[in-house]
Chains A and B, each alone.
Chain A
Amino acid sequence: MKNFTTTLACLTSLLLTGCYAGSQFTIEASHLDQPVSLSSTIHNNKLEVLKAGEYEEIGRFSVSFSGWSLGSPLSPNPKRDISDVLNQIVKEKGGNGITHLTIQAANNPVNFVSMVLKGVSWFGVVLGSAILLSSNPNKTVPIEMIAVSAAGILFLPTVGDFTVEGMVVKIKQPEAWK
């Protein structure tokens, strides 16, 4: 019976491990000083659409950062405001806008570690529950095992690596921009 319970716990945790370790991040910009376009076009002061070649391209930039999350349903959706970073880049390069803004997302190796540890935690929850429901008189150990394992499932961190790239540009009517 004990072997059967252990085998069942192993198989269940194996399947549950197949879920995932991951999380969602929101990247926003609430106080940009200059226009930042994700496409290759941007407006001038007459609200005419300028295509690539109709504005001066000063130089490309690339900014990388990581976002940490608990990766569980209890975790709030982490937000990252990159306004200050983009404002600083435009200021340093002497431009008055950004075009071709691109976002790149990647898994961090921490997520693979969390995925394994979450599998171990699921195993702890299943095994602890099996012992708790059995005729074992000692209930303290399985309760502790379930509590620690559940904490692992809920609070193991996940990390997303992000890179924001773009082109700092100079519009031909700079007096029109803020």
Chain B
Amino acid sequence: MVNQRFVSNTTNAVKRSCAVLFLSAGIALFALIGCSSSHSLQLDAAQPVYFGNAPPSALPLDSAHVQFIKQISVMSSHVAEEEKVVQGKSTTFTKEGSEGIRGDVVVQVEDGLENDPDRFIGNAEIRARVEAYVPWTSFFTEFLAVIFTGQAKSEGMGEASSETIEISGTVYKVRRVNR
């Protein structure tokens, strides 16, 4: 009786351990084959774009020294190997290396600056969003394509990775007459 209970308990413990190991291995595999990608955003402008609180100390951002023009925002998203620039003229390039798929975007900022050398962007702030997901629409489209045509439309349909970077700031104009 004791032996039977011991055997039963041991069997259950082994089953539970196997289940945990199997689940852990599956999750680890999912993490390992996860779509590795990154996205960088670089701004190019004829005028300075100051990050944070750092215009030159000779130029406080108050109404006596600068004139508020408008708020602007530049956003760029990268989904696996595809870049999409929402605002601004851009140069995009993608490469796949040991670090995964990279989407590097250079955005030419002209909105609000209007080639005026007295204008600049201050108080810039960076917001970044990273997302990992399974693109079910692509998955089912791919599945149906394989069923009905016998051929896959793309090379993969696993997890997807997306990164979005948004840089927002304020356009100011230097008040030369008050200086």
Residues of A within 8 A of B (CB): 15, 17-45, 47-49, 83, 100-117, 158, 160-163, 165, 176-178
Contact = CB atoms under 8 A, between A and B. Distances in A.
Contact of A37 (B31, B48, B163, B164): B48
Interface of B: 26-28, 30-32, 34-59, 100, 109, 117, 120, 124-136, 159, 161-165, 167, 174, 179
B27 A35 contact: no
A170 to B, nearest CB: 14
Contacts of B133: 18-22, 115
A43 B128 contact: no
A35 B132 contact: no
Contact of A39 (B31, B47, B125, B165): B47
Contacts of B34: 107, 109, 111-112
A176 B56 contact: yes
B128 A41 contact: no
B136 A15 contact: yes
A38 B32 contact: no
A102 B124 CA distance: 12
A24 B164 CA distance: 9
B128 A25 contact: yes
A18 B135 contact: yes
